[in-house]
Structures are given as C-alpha cells and as structure tokens.
Amino acid sequence: MTAPAHGSIVRTADPTALAETAAKRLLARIAANSGRIAICLTGGSSPKRLYTLLAREPYRSRIPWQRVHWFIGDERFVPPGNELHNMSMARQIFLDQCAPSANIHPIPTDRASADDAAQAYAHELKSFYGAERLDAAKPLFDLVLLGVGPDGHVASLFPGYPALDERERWVVGVATAPVPPPVPRVTLTFLALCSCREMLFEVAGPDKRAILTRVLAGENLPANRAHASGETVWLVDTSALPEEAGGE
C-alpha cells in the first residue's frame, strides 16, 4: 500500500516547502469560513517551521487574527513556560506576537492532575462549541494539525492505550507516556480531533521514514485511525517517504 488508511498524500520537496504548503492550506481554510474559526495546533518539533511562517509576511497580514481561535491537541502536564509545554512553544513562536490572548486556548496544566486539566479543557471546548454533543454537520475545528510519533501516536493517543477507544470524553488525562518526555499528558480524543473540516499531518525528515513505512503499510496505528470528518491530508517531504512510495 502507498497511501495512508485515510486521506491522501501531498508530497513536497523538503521541509521548507512542506511548511509553506501547510501555511497556504491554513489560509485557504480560513478563507472558507467567514465566521469564527477554530484551529487545533500540535506540539512536537514538526510544526515549528509552519508556526514561524505564520508570524511573518506574507502570511501574518492575511490571517484575520481577531476571529481565529487557537487550541492545542495535546499537552505535556508541565507548567506553562516549561520547555516541554506545547502551547508555550506555539505562543513563543507566533501566538503571543499575533493573536489576541482571549483567542489562545491552552490546556490548563495548573490543575491538581492531568485528569482535572482534561475535564476543564473539555468544558472549555464545549462552551466554545456551544453544545455537549458533537454534530457531524457542524465540525468543532476548521483545521486540526497533527504530527506522528515514532510509534505511530498522534496527539497523546498512544498505541494500545484505552484512550484510543474513548467514545464519550473529548479530552482525557494520560498518566504515563511510552515515549519521551516521561511526563503525564492531556490529550483530545479521536471524538474531538476528528470533528474537523480538515486534518493536516506534517511529516518531514528521514527520521520519519520508518514510521511512515508502517503507516503506509496499513498497520493498525493511532495515525491510521485519525481522520477528519472533512478532508484528511498527509503533507510529506521526499526525505520522509519510503522508496516504494516515491521517496529519495
């Protein structure tokens, strides 16, 4: 197989071109909605180039910052400002310079536990959405960004973990992570993540080739279970693609 279980691959020449393609897709998603927009960001290193572009022209002035709201798909259970904190990374790179602070929606990691933080974030998402239940005709997010971990995890939905099969809760606490860093996590479940007009994976660099080979072989991995209610796109640079799928 040379395609992921859901969606299609958009191939780019290198990580720089990949970030530019992601930025253009983000702008197109914004242009498609004249109302309030919700974008779910991702942590890790994959989105950093994209975030850097968003703070610069020609992208910065094309984003209607007042009506775009920024959420995060998963968080490490560490205080804001900590070097492991995903939303702090996005804030430092672009949000704090560009977005009104009321439009930035971090997972509150100042709670007593990851479960408490998950509950609070679910409450915030539901208030923003305006309902307790998701309606397939009205996606929660315009765009969900995702990276893929070395074991095929997305957000903090790890292979074999019960959170993968959560059917009720939008956000859950994850006590232990099987990959570094060894801190508890808070993650949106597929219920919430998949409720989006577009899900955009960013997969770049030769280090991603091994996991991408497994994804494309159709293995039952979290990455192969994640998909949008609308369009699912895998942005992949050539160095991450296995040879049989056209990689270098």
- Interface positions with ligand 6PG (CB under 6 A): 42-46, 74, 76, 86, 147-149, 153-155
Taking the least distance from each CB to ligand 6PG, the nearer of 1 and 179 is 179
What distance in Å separates the CA atoms of residue 233 and residue 197, rounded to the nearest whole number? Answer: 11
Taking the least distance from each CB to ligand 6PG, the nearer of 42 and 195 is 42
Q: Give, in degrees to the nearest 5, the angle at Cα 98 between 59 and 106.
A: 115
Q: In angstroms, what is the minimal distance from the CB of 247 to ligand 6PG?
A: 17
Taking the least distance from each CB to ligand 6PG, the nearer of 33 and 143 is 143
Q: In angstroms, what is the minimal distance from the CB of 71 to ligand 6PG?
A: 12
What distance in Å separates the CA atoms of residue 9 and residue 242, rounded to the nearest whole number? Answer: 13
Taking the least distance from each CB to ligand 6PG, the nearer of 140 and 240 is 240
Taking the least distance from each CB to ligand 6PG, the nearer of 33 and 44 is 44
Segment (H or E) for 225: helix 222-225
Q: Which residues of 132-158 are buried (b: 16+ CB within 10 A; e: fewer)?
A: eebeeeebbbbbbbbbbbeebbbbbbb
Long-range contacts of 89-98 (CB under 8 A, 24+ apart): 89/43, 89/48, 89/51, 90/41, 90/43, 90/47, 90/51, 93/48, 93/51, 93/52, 93/55, 94/51, 94/52, 94/54, 94/55, 95/70, 97/55, 98/54, 98/55, 98/60, 98/63, 98/65
Q: In angstroms, what is the minimal distance from the CB of 74 to ligand 6PG?
A: 5
Q: Which residue is nearest to ligand 6PG (CB)?
A: 44
Q: In angstroms, what is the minimal distance from the CB of 125 to ligand 6PG?
A: 17
Taking the least distance from each CB to ligand 6PG, the nearer of 61 and 220 is 220
Q: In angstroms, what is the minimal distance from the CB of 26 to ligand 6PG?
A: 17
